[in-house]
Amino acid sequence: MRRIGLTGNIAAGKSTVAAGLAAAGFPVIDADALAREVVAPGTPALAAIVARWGPAVLLADGTLDRAALRRRVLAHPAERAALETITHPAIAARRAARTAELSATGAPVIVCDIPLLFEAQLEDTVDAIVLVDAPAEVRRARLIQDRGMDPAEADALIAAQMPAARKRERADVVIENAGSRAELDAAIASLVARLLDPSATRP
């Protein structure tokens, strides 16, 4: 079984690529989905978050107010590190369990969608890395125009991640996503073909 790490900075288009790979039949383990699972009501991680940042990070129904928590930690590296100390081990444990389940089914390739793959130093947990990338100014425009984000928050989110140039040096495949959707779909199709090639040692 080959484990493909799929990553990309915010608004690069990683989720679109992940959806394309899932549509092609590849099982995808979504780190964002795991992150939501580990902070669901009643989990140890949510209890630890409330203990540190207080009930103001909860919504009225008792679920985590992710936007409120993000505002508290985004501009403060020490606070962000504290949050990662709480959530990352729980996410890693769930990813390992899902990987073992898929391995038992005989899946030849699984895709691990991990936004912070490099930041969390998870390169050694996958066999190859696919990076989806677009220039910072394109990603900023997408955050503001498509997601309605405040420009200052968009800038802070982009600044909080490792620069894409450093990630490109360490990725096995880079999918460029500054053009049209048709161009991105063509790149996804090319990646699918490479993943389906049993003779390929890299995607």
Q: Percentage helix, strand, coil, to 5, in the chain?
A: 55, 15, 30
Q: What is the pLDDT of residue 136?
A: 96
Q: What is the pLDDT of residue 201?
A: 62
* In CATH, 1-27+107-196 is 3.40.50.300: yes
Q: What is the pLDDT of residue 190?
A: 96
Q: What is the pLDDT of residue 34?
A: 96
Evaluate the CA torsion angle 56, 52, 37, 28 in order and state its sign.
positive
Regions of the chain with pLDDT less than 70: 200-201
Q: What is the pLDDT of residues 69-113, one digit of tens each?
A: 998 998 788 999 999 999 999 999 999 999 999 999 999 999 999
Residue 99 tokens read as: 């990987």
DSSP 8-state secondary structure symbol assigned to residue 106: T
Judge if pTM exceeds 0.85: yes
Q: What is the pLDDT of residue 75?
A: 79
Q: What is the pLDDT of residue 93?
A: 94
What residue spans define the domains of the chain? 1-27+107-196, 35-92
